[in-house]
Amino acid sequence: MREGSDRLRFALLDASHGDEHTPRNFRRELDADLVEFDVTQHERPAHFDFDAVVVTGSRSSVYWDRDWIRPLIEYVAAADEHGVPILGVCYGHQVLASALGGRVEDMGEYEIGYREIRQTSDDDLFESVPESFTAFTSHSDAVTELPPGADLLAENDYGVHAFRRGDAWGVQFHPEYDPETATAITKEKDLSEERLQAVLGGITAENYDAACQTKRLFENFTAYVRRARRTREPATQ
C-alpha cells in the first residue's frame, strides 16, 4: 500500500455511459480520492492497488452481450479474490452478484421512485440507518439468487436490495441520488404518462430528506475500508 498518505484511494468503475450526474454524485458522497474509469469505453484498472472498488449504476443489463460487460465482471471477481473491499450500487450491485456467482434476471417491469426498504439483518454498512428506510430506486433487473455465502441485508416487495459477502457489498437502491438526478433519470424511462407524473410528484423535499439517511452508507463503507487498510499496513518500528 502507498506510504505517506492517510487519504483513501478508490477505483470508481463508471458504467453510466457518460451520464453527467454519476461521477458528480460519487465525488460528492465518497470521502476518498477517486480514480475514474469509464468501463463502457473499455477503461479498467490494470492492477488492484486501491483501497476499495466502487461500481456505479448503468442503463445496461449484466446479461447483455456487450464486449465491455464480461471484462468488468471478471475484474470485480478478481478484486474480490485480492481482498479489495467493493461497493456496488444498482447495476454495480448486479455486477457484484454476477461476479460472485449469483443470478440477475429481468423483472419485466420498473421499480422506480422513492420506496420503502427493510433491513433484514444487522451490518456495519447500515449502521445508523433506520431498520425501515426510504431510498430512490430505478431498475428493471434484480438479483434473484444471492452469491454462495452471501447474506441478505435488505429487501422489499421487489426483492433483494442489499447483500454482503466478506468485504463486498451490493445495494440495489441509489443512496447517491439528489433530486436533480432522480428527476433526470425518471424522465428518461419508458413509462406511462400517469406513472411518470406519479414518480415525478414523489420527488419532494420531504422524500429526499428521508432518503438522505441512506447516505450514511458511504461513511460506513469508507470507515470500514480505513479499518481494513490499517490491518494490512505493517506496524511501525
- For the purposes of burial, counting CB atoms within 10 Å of the CB of 122, is it exposed (0-12), middle (13-18) or buried (19 or more)? exposed
Catalytic residue flag (residue 42): no
Under 8 Å between Cβ of 156 and 133: no
Catalytic residue flag (residue 176): yes
Catalytic residue flag (residue 21): no
- CA dist 152 and 149 (Å) reads 10
Catalytic residue (one of 93, 139, 161, 174) = 174
Task: State the Cα angle at 95 between 71 and 232, rounded to 5°.
Answer: 85
Under 8 Å between Cβ of 2 and 25: no
Q: In what order do the strands lie in the sheet containing 168-171?
A: 33-38, 9-14, 52-55, 86-89, 168-171, 159-165, 151-156, 103-119, 132-145
Catalytic residue (one of 90, 111, 139, 161) = 90
Catalytic residue (one of 29, 111, 161, 176) = 176
Contacts of 36 by beta carbon, 8 Å cutoff, 6+ apart: 12, 14, 23
Q: Which residues are marked as active site?
A: 90, 174, 176
